[in-house]
Amino acid sequence: MGGNRAGGVDIISHSEGADPAAVIYDGIQASKARKADVLICDTAGRLHNKKNLMNELNKIFRVVEREYPEAKKRNNISSRCNYWSKCHIPSKSI
């Protein structure tokens, strides 16, 4: 969602293809500076069949833990697909 449609919500983003952990880092720094109550990190577009998906997610988790260890954290994994029978396979592999 573009920042102009987010109803006053600050959006921190980098250009396409940027390191997701760097975007999360910048989001954490911005939320601390702005004294935000909530920070939502969305790593949209991480495909279940991407070779280094788990390494990428682990790097993100390390950045969050290092930069904001006192934060309450909740992880959600969602999958979009047209047929449920094909959706549950990626979730099992993660």
Please say whether the beta carbons of 24 and 60 come within 8 A: yes
For residue 11, what pLDDT band results from cuts at 50, 70 and 90? confident
Per-residue confidence (pLDDT) for residue 1, from 0 to 100: 43
Each residue of 23-76: pLDDT tens digit? 999 999 999 999 999 998 887 765 555 667 778 888 999 999 999 999 888 887
In the chain, where are the structural domains located? 3-93
**20-33 helix and 53-67 helix, angle to the nearest 10 degrees:** 20
CATH topology of domain 3-93: Rossmann fold (3.40.50)
pLDDT of residue 32: 93
Alpha carbon 48 to its chain centroid, in Å, reads 14
Output Rg (C-alpha) for the chain, integer angstroms.
15
Q: How is the chain split among helix, strand and coil, in percent rounded to 5?
A: 45, 0, 55
pLDDT for residue 94 is more than 70: no
More confident call, 47 vs 1: 47
Q: Please, are residues 32 and 68 in contact by the beta-carbon 8 Å criterion? A: yes
